[in-house]
Each structure stands twice: as structure tokens, then as C-alpha cells.
Amino acid sequence: MNADTDNTITIRPCAKGDEHALALVGQATFLEAFAGILDGADVIAHCQRQHDVQLYRDWLALPAMRLWLAEATPGGAPVGYLVLSPAGLPVADPRPNDLEIKRIYLLHRFQGQRVGRRLMQAAVEQARASGAGRVLLGVYAENHDALAFYARCGFAQLGRRTFRVGRTDYQDVILGMTL
């Protein structure tokens, strides 16, 4: 996939060296989305574990993982990203060619500008090219804006799972889209 550019955002495949940008966006968007909803200490601990630079470095080294970075232009500041991986979600009918959108994060001020749609398009194109029959994802059940976005993209509910942040369990909805 070539870099996709409009007047304000460039989307490009990630490469070695992007792990710091990915970690920064992951931490910033998680905090932005869940401050005032989740316990503050739990948010910090979650970000330290789940948005650690080494985690992204490891993902970038795995051939089965595909990551895209959204950058503001001019300047190239990271504002969002998407991670496509082998599927690991608990669904009733797992398929060997399922892929998972493990993360799609975008800073709030860039939402509503089709950036998320463009990130999703890059992932779906890659999934189709790799022979996947379905793309799955999990999303916090109370994230109504995200649920509406995924519905517009063609995802439907397949199940639920429990997601732990800190000491508290939350419910995720598992969604899927047949390619």
C-alpha cells in the first residue's frame, strides 16, 4: 500500500523506528477516550503495559502484523494508527483466515474527517490481499461513537468478551465483517 495523502493527513505503512510514535498515540488516545470513565491509576498502568514502546517494536518485527500510521501534514506529527494481526478474539466460529483489527486509534480532533475510514480501508485492502475471509475487532461496549463507526464500515456483532483494565472488568463487543 502506498502512502495515502490528503490536505491534512498522510496514512502510510509503519516501519522499524515508528514504535515511539505508535506508543505516544496509543497512550494519548487511550487517556483521551477513558479519562473520567476509568480509574486514573488503572489508565496509567494500562498505558504503561499496553502502549509500551517495546510492544510496538515487537509488533513491527512480526511479519504477520501490519500497522499504519496517520500523520498530520505538514510536520508529520502522529495522530492515529491501525494494527492488523492474526485473529485472537473469542468467537463462536473461529476461522483460520480471520484477521483482527487489534487497534484503531485516532486523536479526537482528527475524528470525523474520514481518517478512520481511510485507516480501515488500508486494513481491509490488506486483509483481502492476504486471503482473509473476515476481519474481527473488539470494542468497549459503551463506546457508542466507535460502534456507530464500525456499523457504517460494515461490521456486525458476533459476541462479547470481558476486558480488564487495572482491577476492573469491562464488556467489549466483538464485531466482524465478511470480506
Pairing of strands 4-5, 98-106: unpaired
Is 178 strand, coil or helix?
A: strand
What is the C-alpha separation between 136 and 46, in angstroms, rounded?
A: 22
Alpha-carbon torsion (72, 75, 77, 82), positive or negative: positive
pLDDT of 2: 47
Of 119, 103, 84, 106, the residue nearest 29 (C-alpha): 106
pLDDT in tens, the chain (179 residues): 446 655 689 999 999 999 999 999 999 999 999 999 889 999 999 999 999 999 999 999 999 999 999 999 999 999 999 999 999 999 999 999 999 999 999 999 999 999 999 999 999 999 999 999 999 999 999 999 999 999 999 999 999 999 999 888 999 999 999 99
The secondary structure element, H or E, covering residue 126 is helix 115-129
pLDDT of 1: 42
Domains of the chain (ranges; CATH) run: 4-178 (3.40.630.30)
Angle formed by the axes of helices 19-34 and 40-50, nearest 10° = 160
Q: Is 62:20 a contact under the CB 8 Å cutoff?
A: no
Is 8 strand, coil or helix?
A: coil
CB-count burial class (<10 Å; 0-12, 13-18, 19+) for 118: buried
* Cell representation of residue 48: 504503561
Task: Output the 3-class SS for 49-98.
Answer: HHCCHHHHHHHHHCCCCEEEEEEECCCCEEEEEEEEEECCCCCCCCCCCE
pTM for the model stands at 0.93
Helices first, then strands: H and E counts in the chain: 5, 8
pLDDT of 168: 87
